[in-house]
Amino acid sequence: MSKMLTIDDLAKYPFLEKSAMFIEGRQLSLTDLASQEYSMVVRRAFERVKKSIEGEDIITDSSDPEVEIFSYPLALALVYSSKISWLVNRFATSEAKRCEDLLKMEPAPKLVEIGSESFGWKVEQSKLALEWEKMDFKLGVSEYLEAAPQFHSAAWKIINKHVDRGSVYLTSKDFARLLSENLKLKIIRKASNEEVKKFEMPEVFRPLREEILKLAEGKKQYFEDEVPAGLVDEARPPCIVAMINDMSAGKSLSHMARFTITTFMINVGEGVDDVMKLFGNVADFDEGKARYQVEHIAGIIGSKTKYKPPKCEVLRSFGLCVSPDRLCSKIHHPLSYYKTKLKSTSAAPKKDSGTGVTKAA
């Protein structure tokens, strides 16, 4: 273990690569954590998820570092296996807030190690003293742009930062905020990975997962209705089928068509990576620009608003209502079509099970 990072640090920041290595060194699977020996770990993992659902702060418990370290991946496993996108976002936000409060109190060398070894950031300490404040860190522009675009304040725009020779200069407070926000993004983005989307909790933890789902159900009225995680082809409205076929053929779509297909895919439970794969066939595809736009539409960055597809009347005005069927005459929104069609089809996303300990985000 690094001289700078102690076991207490791994407990405070269980997303660190060294925390994952600590867990892997014990050679434990998720199923192993179900034994009586790890009952405190299970209790703490449940508490972390419960507090995020209820909007309460997660406070680091330093009394037993190992419980904190092991409870984090178990909590992540519970959250990811729920297949509830808003729960993933809430858990990510709660953990980011918890970490930010701690990171603000850390010495500069430790923050450098966290940024470079866990996120792969090109970061160094800085002794630059500007007229108005001292800059403690310099971070590569590309790394800065990974997380900063989601901040609303104009102060975070790169044009308002001191930039020199490919590096953005930051105060300790701003760097701590950036680290915590990148953790949040990492948790959310990982939910769209194919391996994570297929993940299911081992049988021994199914009762605990059911408790989480019951808690989430109690908060469901505060969020939009959920649909099954993953696109069900048989339930797609004709307009969406036509757009997807055009994209698969490499045709160039209008801005409204791209917005419609992106919002539809996101709202039926597809991840950012799934949408990116779809756009990859389009001739003028720009991966960097496309990812930024898709993540903005998904509410991961920017306004944090998850956009919905346009209504049918809007699609008709743009000439995007193609080959309407009998059901189309009864509904007024692509998502209403999808949800209605789901009730009459036996199709459902296929899921595989997994038993390994989920690696820290």
Three-state SS letters, the chain: CCCCCCHHHHHHCCCCHHHHHHHHHCCCCCHHHHCHHHHHHHHHHHHHHHHHHHCCCCCCCCCCHHHHHHHHHHHHHHHHHHCCHHHHHHHHHHHHHHHHHHHCCCCHHHHHHHHHHHHCCCEEEEEEECCCCEEEEEEEHHHHHHHHHHCCCHHHCHHHCEEECCEEEECHHHHHHHHHHHHHHHHHHHCCCHHHHHCCCCHHHHHHHHHHHHHHHHHHHHCCCCCCCCCCHHHCCHHHHHHHHHHHCCCCCCHHHHHHHHHHHHHCCCCHHHHHHHHCCCCCCCHHHHHHHHHHHCCCCCCCCCCCCCCHHHHHHCCCCCCCCCHHHHCCCHHHHHHHHHHCCCCCCCCCCCCCCCCCC
Average pLDDT in the 112-116 region?
A: 92
pLDDT at position 54 is 86
Which of 109-113, 137-141, 143-147, 269-273 is predicted least confidently? 269-273
Q: Has residue 69 got a pLDDT over 50? A: yes
**What confidence tier does 2 reach under pLDDT thresholds 50, 70, 90?**
low
Average pLDDT over residues 281-288: 78
Which pLDDT does position 129 carry in this prediction? 86
List CB contacts of 355: < 8 A, sequence separation 6 or more.
Answer: 29, 30, 31, 202
pLDDT digits (tens, 9 = 90+) for 166-198: 999 999 999 999 999 889 888 988 988 889 989
pLDDT surpasses 70 at 206: yes
Residues 6+ apart with CB under 8 A from 263: 297, 307, 308, 309, 310
Tell me whether residue 271 is exposed, middle or buried, using C-beta atoms within 10 angstroms of its C-beta: 0 to 12, 13 to 18, 19 or more: buried
Q: Which amino acid, residue 121? A: W
pLDDT tens-digit map of 92-101: 989 999 999 9
Task: Give the model's pLDDT for residue 333.
Answer: 93
- pLDDT tens figures, 218-271: 876 555 444 555 677 888 999 999 999 988 888 888 999 999 999 999 888 787
The residue type of 50 is K
Distance CA 227, CA 330 (A): 20
Q: Are 138 and 170 in contact (CB under 8 A)?
A: yes
Alpha carbons 43 and 205: distance in angstroms, whole number: 12
pLDDT band at 146 (very low <50, low <70, confident <90, very high): confident
Predicted confidence (pLDDT) at residue 355 exceeds the cutoff of 50? no
Ranked by mean pLDDT, which of 19-28, 33-42, 288-297 comes out on top? Answer: 33-42
- State the average pLDDT over residues 26-55: 92
Note whether 149 and 302 are within 8 A (CB): yes
For residues 154 and 65, give the distance between their C-alpha atoms in angstroms, rounded to a whole number.
Answer: 39
Strands 123-129 and 134-140: antiparallel
- The C-alpha atoms of residue 34 and residue 41 are separated, in whole angstroms, by 9
Q: Which of 3-7, 87-91, 175-179, 186-190 has the highest mean pLDDT?
A: 175-179
Would the pTM of this model clear 0.85, i.e. be above it? no
- Burial class of residue 333 (count of CB atoms within 10 Å of its CB; 0-12, 13-18, 19+): middle
Which range is most confident: 1-10, 142-151, 243-252? 243-252
pLDDT at 115: 92
Read off the pLDDT of each residue in 46-75 and give the average, rounded to a whole number.
Answer: 92
CA–CA gap between residue 179 and residue 359 (Å, rounded)? 19
Both tokens of 258, joined, read 């791209």
Higher pLDDT, 153 or 344: 344
